[in-house]
Structure 1
């Protein structure tokens, strides 16, 4: 079986690619998804309290506004319903294949196409594709902590992204490892039902108030009747969030008002001075992801909660032991320790022109891609939410739409000029990434005094975009063919004149 375009993943990225390809008349595509439904992150993360920390009006497709959001910050199930609804209305679901794993893809240089192996309900099968579009995302593969003895734990243990809803937490002794974006939503919910809750903190995050509000019936009616009102909301929210960019990328002192709000949030939620000191970050605002919650600090201050800041030494069959020798019994262990973001597992399954996998290519110096989307040595491979496209302040949907626009123009250009393949030139890729890393040196993520999941094993930030998102959109507005080596539908390879 041959398809023109194979899309991997059915979250925001994969769905956006499918819809926009269809709009361009590119109907010969297939979307493979390992799970049984669309949704990606919002299908998988069903933990209590799951919600988005970007306002709903911005965390949605610009081409599919939703006047029915219940509040300014939507809960996870509502976002999942939104994604499913967009997919159903798009007319593309007949080309989605669910419960199908993406196992392997190797570039066939003679045929100028990808040879792909997938496994579905009927077993393994092979197919070929002209272009391979990765929409697997950076928050799809949970990372478990490397703690001595954790495999010996006899109670219930699960990652926040693989929540076990069969476990009754009422009255149990629950431990949550981690204080990131998921953990601060989980902790208040656990505190309500647990007999005792231990929260294990390695570093304290900055947490600003969550200025959420419910949309009333009249407001939702107005959003339905006047679509321009929704666009106005979206525009206002977008530019308000872009206001964080100078504080993150130029001068941390610009974040003083937000830092003051975070400090006030601590003071409001916690009375005990010792606990306040434990939850006050030592690094610059924005060095790690800034979180939003009104309930996290009160939950930590509750009588049935203990914040543990001593290093975990080991896990036993029924307890966690910290470096100070204290042993705390545990019935249920919730691991909220994030994902594989700087070494994407899917890259182990993609082999380029040199016979090396993308993972092998990146192990030497870290993830890197031209415009976060294409990689030398991997023709016709397009990554959505690729290296250095992440955001610490705004909606990834904006980035996804920008990348999809670039991919669409690349495909249109290939069609118009009769090209069989496109591959970014090594020099173009090096210039792009050298400029990114130069800019990264002045950002709060590098100079802010923290370690974070933004950084890889080489200490390079291969995750975030160090400029404004409007700059990103402008730089991906059209396919820059002069930065690529191309191959015509014949067998000769040529350089495009600069």
Structure 2
């Protein structure tokens, strides 16, 4: 049997999946991409200052190191350029149908195949369906009364409107997550006034960025081992954050002390600012952020930080619980993504017409984040509980791509669909949720948790533990006939 495979999405997960399958000799692959180019979140997020908060030597494929990164913490154009290079070098584009959106898919028990439904009305039939839409593909907008009544431009950071000229404007930024702390310093110098509405402040630590010079590039190219050293060093640093949150309270206290020193030092120019931005929850509960310029920006004369709860939006601006209307010309949402709504808004139907979103009504779950009982030959890249609170998701994606490759090889030999045994997935989920129930991520509200409080995004321990445990074992599956 030579299985046919459909992959949804061309972010890092989709690229990893296709490349792994091609390396193993599988070529009957079709990739559906709703946009006109590869790149996923790094194609969509073009806001000013967009960059990765994981150092590029580690936030890249191990099999395709890049000796010519412009910076240690690369900006969006460089990351997108790297992804385009990878897609070209590994012959991924030949398999991609661009400008093609998947609206749903259903498993045909008689034919033992998946029928993929496209927005054009066309259908494609395949043996294996791989979702690589990720956790950070759908912007999240909070439900605020009157949002539709605002007179001026309003947009999300992930859908930045570059036609809006911010020069001399009064701008409201709602949200203070990873995107906001990058674009706020970029837009502050050009706006007349900036009001940052903060619900929960992040812990911030120093960003040890640097520009890689021509000399660095030559050394990396001529002595590839130096790239491995750089990658290994930053693997240790970012994985050390996971060690702190999971295993070492003394290390967590040390990181908190560093954060406090860093944040107090960068806010001293404006009395009272530190007290506004210093978090009151346990460190590690939300993703810690790296920045050297966000807090000094908040200390500028044309910037105010409001910690008052927003009660509504009116035509002239933003109203807070104290009754004040903050008059602004532009509203920018920095409110993140619908990370817990996996595979939405697609409709996925498995055996006996089971609806995946009904199965996940209490929170998304999958065996090692990849396979779901009663959904034969459906695999998910960057699925439930495969996010990392400190490391690089690409490290996880490579482990998942290997799992996918082993799965498809076994499928080819078996000649019939596979489905994970319900009792195997249940035992796994009990173990993972048991670990998560004792984790730091239960200590506050964050995008790691769904509305019921279940942690559906994060892996509970270290990346290296995921890589060592997430191994395909045929005994975990049963053959569907």
- Give the TM-score taking structure 1 as reference length: 0.94
State which of 159, 163, 183 in structure 2 corresponds to 1:162: 159
Describe how 1:468-479 pairs up with structure 2 within 5 A: 468-476=462-470, 478-479=471-472
How far did residue 347 of structure 1 move? 6.0
CA distance in 2, matches of 1:149, 1:356: 38
Question: Does the CA-based 8 Å contact 1:250-1:443 persist in structure 2?
Answer: no
Are 2:251 and 1:262 equivalent residues in the alignment? Answer: no
CA distance in 2, matches of 1:225, 1:333: 48
Question: Does the CA-based 8 Å contact 1:348-1:357 persist in structure 2?
Answer: no
For 1:482, the equivalent position in structure 2 comes to 475
Query: Please, what is the CA RMSD of the aligned residues?
Result: 1.3
For 1:70, the equivalent position in structure 2 comes to 70
How far did residue 354 of structure 1 move? 2.9
For 1:321, the equivalent position in structure 2 comes to 319
How far did residue 235 of structure 1 move? 1.4
For 1:413, the equivalent position in structure 2 comes to 410
Describe how 1:86-485 pairs up with structure 2 within 5 A: 86-119=86-119, 123-271=120-268, 272-346=270-344, 348-363=346-361, 365-416=362-413, 418-446=414-442, 448=443, 450-476=444-470, 478-485=471-478
CA distance in 1, matches of 2:255, 2:115: 50
Question: Does the CA-based 8 Å contact 2:242-2:391 persist in structure 1?
Answer: no
CA distance in 1, matches of 2:214, 2:343: 44
CA distance in 1, matches of 2:209, 2:248: 28
Q: Deviations over 1:415-463 (max 9, x none)?
A: 12x23111111110011010011111221111x3x21111112211111
- Give the TM-score taking structure 2 as reference length: 0.97
CA distance in 2, matches of 1:227, 1:304: 47
Q: Which moved more, 1:325-334 or 1:253-262?
A: 253-262
**Structure 2 residue runs without a partner (length 5+):** none
How far did residue 3 of structure 1 move? 7.4
**Structure 1 residue runs without a partner (length 5+):** 493-498
Question: Does the CA-based 8 Å contact 1:347-1:357 persist in structure 2?
Answer: no
Question: Does the CA-based 8 Å contact 1:115-1:128 persist in structure 2?
Answer: yes
Query: Any idea what SS the aligned residue of 1:91 has?
Result: coil
Question: Does the CA-based 8 Å contact 1:369-1:386 persist in structure 2?
Answer: yes
Question: Does the CA-based 8 Å contact 2:131-2:343 persist in structure 1?
Answer: no
Q: Deviations over 1:298-317 (max 9, x none)?
A: 01110000000000011011
CA distance in 2, matches of 1:17, 1:128: 19
Moved over 6 A (4+): none
CA distance in 2, matches of 1:131, 1:160: 34
How far did residue 233 of structure 1 move? 1.2
For 2:60, the equivalent position in structure 1 comes to 60
